[in-house]
Each structure stands twice: as structure tokens, then as C-alpha cells.
Amino acid sequence: MVHPTYEILIDYIENELPKAERVKVDDHLSQSCEECNAKLTQLRMVLDSIKEDKTIAPPPDVLRRAIATHAKQPTTPSRSLIQVLAELLFDSQLQLSPMAARGIARTRQMLFTTQQVDIDLHITPEHTDHNLTGQILGREQDDEEQYSTAFVSLQSDTSGTLKGTEADSLGQFTFKQIPPGVYDLVIDLGNQEVAIAGLELIND
């Protein structure tokens, strides 16, 4: 006998097979057909689960309305972000002075620029770690609060996103106690990402 189909095995479990057909299935299973016995065990488990399920199906008209409502929902297009690399305009560490050489001026200021925004950064050592504060500066006076919902993340190649925060109403953000290392600062402005790559936080 060929292997019985799933339909035949279901009828076998539910005692709905004609007697002659049932005898054939019994003979086949008694010949230690591992494949069909495994199917039979799985089907018994599924059917037992169905019997224990007390879920009540919704009326057909309710189901049709639910499907129609879902079909009418507009599809949200996936957001394709443009990532812009910020350019360094100013770095106080590169402006050598007798005061800085003696270690008095410890806070490092950096200014980065893109076509849309400028980013002002201040890096202050604290024990073996660093504190990083920054501000997103729009190019127009009317846009003072435009970047208050910007999400800023500090990322590294080894550990991925290390920290993340939202800028405040003035576009300001702060990260505290950052271990020494090289990081990427990524600012999500909604319509684009601004990245400051290779930001070095090192102890002198």
C-alpha cells in the first residue's frame, strides 16, 4: 500500500474511514512505517489542540468589514534617509597656545558644519572618562526649535550604539561618562542623518 494521505489519516483518527479502508491503514501502520506513524502522532497533537481551543470565530459580516478596513489603510512608504558627513570647521585642540600647552584649557571645542546645520561640540575630561555636550544650530533664526526632536546617538564599530538621547528645545544634548575611544556621532533630523565620523575621545 502507498503511504496514506493526510486526509486519510485524519479520517482514520476520527474513525470516519470505511472498515475496509481502515484495515488497510492498520496493516500499513503495523508494518512500522516510521514516516506515517510520525505523521499520525503530529496529527493527533494538532487535532487535540483544536478541540481544546475555545476561540469563537467572528460572524462573516464582521470579518468582511475588518478585512475591508485593513485594505483601505494607506501604506506607509519606507523612510529613506540621506546621511551627510559633517565637515570640521574649528578645533580648539589645533589652536596651540601657551595656556593650552600647560593643560589649563582642558575643554575641547569643535565646530562642524553641513549645508543644513552646524554642530557645536564641547568635550570635557572627567577622571578617565569624558563628558560630551553639543548643540544643533539651524541656519535661520526662525528654525530655533526645528531640531528639538532630533535624536542623537553615539556609536562605535565594536559595540554599535553606545548611547542615545533627544535634543532639547534649543537643540542641545549631553552624553556623560564616555570611555576613551573613537566614536561616530549620528544626528537624526527626520529628513536626513548628519554624521560626525571618527570623533576621538582620548586621555592626554
| Within a domain: 70 | no
* Number of neighbouring beta carbons within 10 Å of residue 196: 21
Structural domain contains residue 77 = no
Is 76 inside any structural domain? no
Q: What is the pTM of this model?
A: 0.56
Cell of 84: 551627510
Q: Which residue has the cell 575611544?
A: 181
Radius of gyration in angstroms for the set of CA atoms belonging to the chain, rounded to a whole number: 33
In a domain, 20, yes or no: yes
CATH number at residue 88: 2.60.40
> Is residue 67, in this structure, part of any structural domain at all?
no
The answer as to whether 68 is a domain residue is: no
| Strands 151-156 and 181-188, sheet pairing | antiparallel
Give CA angle at 147 (113, 130), nearest 5°.
65
How confident is the prediction along the chain (204 residues), in pLDDT tens digits per residue? Answer: 578 888 888 888 888 889 888 998 888 888 878 888 888 888 888 777 777 777 777 787 777 777 777 666 565 555 566 889 999 999 988 875 554 445 444 889 999 999 889 999 999 998 899 999 999 998 765 455 567 779 999 998 777 778 899 999 889 999 999 999 999 999 998 888 999 999 998 876
What is the rounded CA–CA span in Å between residue 174 and residue 177? 10
CB 152 within 8 A of CB 173: yes
**For residue 54, what are the domain limits?**
6-59
Cα separation, 49 vs 44, whole angstroms? 9
> Cα 32 from chain centroid?
49
95 and 48 in a common domain: no
Total tally of structural domains belonging to the chain: 2
Q: Are residues 47 and 133 in the same domain?
A: no
Query: At which residue does the C-alpha cell 570647521 appear?
Result: 89
On whether residue 45 sits in a domain, the answer given is yes
- 105/195 same-domain check: yes
In a domain, 69, yes or no: no
Same domain, 135 and 194: yes
